[in-house]
Structures are given as structure tokens and as C-alpha cells.
Amino acid sequence: MRVPIIAGNWKMNKTIAEARELTTAMRDDLARLAADGQIEIILCPPFLAVPEVGTLVKGTPIRVGAQNLFWETKGAFTGEVAPGMLAEVCEYVIIGHSERRQYFGESDEHVNKKLHAALANQLKPIVCVGENLAQNEAGKTGEVVGAQVRAAFAGLSDAQARGVVIAYEPIWAIGTGKAASGAGANAVIGLTIRGALADLYDEATAQAVRVQYGGSVNAKNAAEFLAQAEIDGALVGGASLVAADFVAICKAAVR
Ligand code: 13P
């Protein structure tokens, strides 16, 4: 059985003080929900707030993640954050979010390098894939998402692949209030994403990897996604900034 994993991607929101407030508002409820290991809950604040959130959830089952990393270990890369620096303060890292691909020029090759770097530093990666509206309307979802998965996982061993979480985030559903349907996301995850993993590795590995859905997940529609057989959790943007909503989404993941 794959343990559902709910992650809040706060994106570029919350100062350290605001992060403290949000974390404190939901910490006890989230800790209770994650207490018996039925679900995993990850908070992904902006870099600067990662240590503070980590301190606040210390001793609880709540985990912390960053939203990006660079693949080099150190050196003249002004403004970047190395994997080893993150490993000191968090356990997870989001890689290849569509906003990074869209606004910061991240390519499939960059995503692959970041994935290798994260795993080499014992960080648990959440790798994002997803098609844009034009690709979706042209019937190219399978082709695009399959290619993203193959490129991201290039050179990863079977054991490494099993430790990666994939987030299927159709770009047209991110921040638009227009979520995919549960059945639609389930089909892309089952056929395209697990299909690509089965090609790259084998069926057992394809079944072992956890795959989240992301894109306008909220307290109302979460249950529809989390009830799908192929969907192992959610990567939540906007709704993760509202304590009551994020708690409700996590509650919907408890089976
Ligand atoms: P929204 O939940 O705000 O649509 O964002 C989804 C997302 O991009 C999470 O990484």
C-alpha cells in the first residue's frame, strides 16, 4: 500500500513571521492526522522560512520541504541553494515545478540534474510534470507527460526511482480554480505516468512510486482526487495557505 502524501507548496508567500503564524495555526491538527502513519504531510515554505517551520514542527510527524535546489554542491553560483544546505534543514524538495519551467527556464535536463543531486544528498524529491492547455487540447497530454517522466528519471536506479514522489500538475489547472476531474487525473497517472515508469523499470516499481495530483485542489474537491486508485495524495498551492483548508484536505486523505 502506498501511503498518501499531502504537500503544501506555499510558493513565494509568507515572511518568516507569517510562516510562523500559519504553521502554528495548523500544527496540532496536522500532527494528529499524521500521527499513526496513515498519511504523510509536508510543508514547503519559501527558503528563508524553512528552518523556522522546521523548528516549529520538530517532534511532530509533520515534514518540511523546500521548493527548489541547485545541482552543484558549492561555489560561484550567486543566489543558488545547494542540496547539502537544504539537507541540513529539511527532508523533501520540490523539483521542476511548472512555474520554474515557465518563468526560470528550467528544462527537462535541469530537472534530471536536480533529481540526481537531491537523491545524492538524501533529500526526498517531489518531481512535477504536467501539460499546458494547448497540449491538452491537442490531445498531447500522454506524449508530453510521458516524455517529462522519462527525462526526469534518466540514469536513476530502480531503488532511487522508488524514493521519488511525482506530482502530476496540469498547468491549466494551477491557480485557475479549474481543477482536472478526478477520473481524468487518475487516467493520466495510471496510464501515462505509471506506464512510463513500467517501461523504464518494471511494473512493481511503477506501482511503488507515489504520484500526487496538483492544480486547484481545495477543501471541497480533495476527496474526489484522493478517492482515485492511482492518486496517492495532493500537491496543494493556494489552499495550503489557509490553515482550515489545508487541514481539511489532509483529513480527506485519511482512509
Ligand atoms: P494551486 O493549488 O494554487 O492551483 O497550485 C497548485 C500548485 O502549483 C502546487 O504546486
In the chain, the domains with their CATH numbers are: 5-253 (3.20.20.70)
State phi, psi for 237 to the nearest 5 degrees: -95, -100
Q: What is the pTM of this model?
A: 0.98
Please tell me the distance between residue 79's alpha carbon and the centre of ligand 1 in angstroms: 24
Give the pLDDT confidence of 171-187 residue by residue, as tens digits.
Answer: 999 999 999 999 999 99
User: For ligand 1, atom 1, which residue shows the shortest CA distance?
Assistant: 237
- pLDDT computed for residue 59 by the predictor: 98
Please tell me the distance between residue 203's alpha carbon and the centre of ligand 1 in angstroms: 29
- pLDDT computed for residue 195 by the predictor: 98
Task: Retrieve residue 114's grid coordinates.
Answer: 536536480
Helix axes 243-253, 16-34, angle to 10 degrees: 30
Query: Angle at CA 102, nearest 5°, toward 99 and 107?
Result: 105
* Nearest-atom index, ligand 1, CA of 235: 9
- pLDDT computed for residue 255 by the predictor: 80
CA-wise closest residue to 43 among 254, 245, 246, 252:
246
CA-wise closest residue to 163 among 193, 201, 123:
123
Q: How many other β-carbons are positioned within 10 Å of the β-carbon of residue 13?
A: 16
Residues of the chain short of pLDDT 70, as ranges, are: none
- pLDDT computed for residue 213 by the predictor: 98
User: Among 10, 11, 129, which residue has the most ligand 1 atoms within 8 Å of its CB, making it the best to mutate?
Assistant: 11
